[in-house]
Amino acid sequence: MVNNEPGKETNLIAEDGKGKLYESNGFLIPVLTGSPKEMGAQYGALMVEHMQKAYDVLIEPGNKKGMITDADARKWTERAYSSCSTRNRLFYDGVVEGSGWPLDKVGMLDQLMEFGIYQSNIHSFAGCTSILSWGSHSADGGMYIGRNMDWSPAFNTFPTVLTVRRPTDGSYKYATTGWPGMYCAFTALNEQGAYLDVHDGTSMGGSVTYIERPSSLNVISDLLCEAASFSGLVTRLNGLATSTSTILTLGDETTGGAMECSSLAGNRLRKADGDSLTVVNSFLDPDWGLGKRETVSNSLRRYANMTARLAENQGKVNAQIVRSLMDLTLFNADGTFAERGGATKPTKQDADLTNYQTVVDVKRREMWMKVPSPTAFADWTHFDLKELWG
């Protein structure tokens, strides 16, 4: 059902009501259908075993060391739960019901990224890269997007998850790539063709997390449920004071850009000069009045590499080309920078490694996923989102 590539068969491994859990090439695909609470209950029932694995790796060591206390879990869960939309609150309630977990445990796992930045004890995902090609730059005028999600090697010790939501409350269907028990739209496309992915922006936007603002993680998820286009995403973000500094890759079938969000100084849209764009972890919009700043994850090197690789493929880009560009590594095996390199870090050679990669053909609503790490390798695997959305 999900893909028909040889050796990458899709297996239905569990069902709960209208919810189904598939596995393909090591990726988990929970397909959820119903009201927000029904979808949350399906997710909790289908994914609780994998959520526990993620919790044991990401939360439990902090509990034992006193870095994450019961009071922290209550505080951060209450902050998310009391300020999120009714849609997200009901989804949380459903996960509690389906998994049998207490709300604080559900909330703490989901809010780990913002908590980590707030505490400055947990490494944030500082090394992500996205490339976009559309219009005159792509082979057929369609939008093609490649994305590396770079974070801690710990995130390759449990499965990468493609969560597919099919709501019945009038919200848009969407699919997002992430990990068990973390519901943010880290890398997401909705049925209308609106695309969004999340990059760490703390190196330039400030590492302050405002706990008296709604969690940006929850707000971003709402955007995919409600915005039908690039312009819709931009307009919504123009009215948002983010709780933590992020850089958001935005796109639809016809255009793209990057919203650079500072928790200290508001948001600015970086537009493309032509029909292609590279997004990394440095603020690059000149309107900030800031100098370009390198990061410990080599943002400016990655930016230069992928901008040059896009230019070399002007007018030729399709999904296969994007996959080949995302396969180009930043480093040689000896740790030196690769000549005519890319952005991918299969192993940890600076601050982080590439946990997963995605390529999206927006017009055709198709996605490919890959895990490049040798310890958890999964080659490019195809997903037809139209089919998954039914």
Domains, the chain: 129-150+191-374 (3.60.60.10)
* Residue 97, H or E segment: helix 86-99
CB atoms within 10 A of CB 123: 16
Torsion over CA: 151, 152, 157, 158 (sign): negative
Give tens-digit pLDDT for 50-59.
Answer: 999 999 999 9
Please name every residue paired with 270 in a beta bridge, in sequence order, or none if there are none. 258
Tokens 């770079």, located at residue: 150
* Mean predicted lDDT score pLDDT of the chain: 95
Tokens 């009714």, located at residue: 86
Which SS3 state, helix, strand or coil, does residue 362 take?
A: coil
Give tens-digit pLDDT for 317-373.
Answer: 999 999 999 999 999 999 999 999 999 999 999 999 999 999 999 999 999 999 999
pLDDT at 3 (0 to 100): 58
Which of 367, 325, 348 shows the shortest CA–CA distance to 127?
A: 348
Q: Are 317 and 336 in contact (CB under 8 A)?
A: no
| pLDDT < 50: residue spans in the chain | 124
Backbone angles phi, psi at 386, to 5 degrees: -60, -40
pLDDT at 9 (0 to 100): 85
pLDDT at 7 (0 to 100): 59
Tokens 């309107």, located at residue: 287
Nearest 5°: the CA angle 363, 232, 43 is 70
Backbone angles phi, psi at 88, to 5 degrees: -70, -35
Please name every residue paired with 41 in a beta bridge, in sequence order, or none if there are none. none
pLDDT at 33 (0 to 100): 98
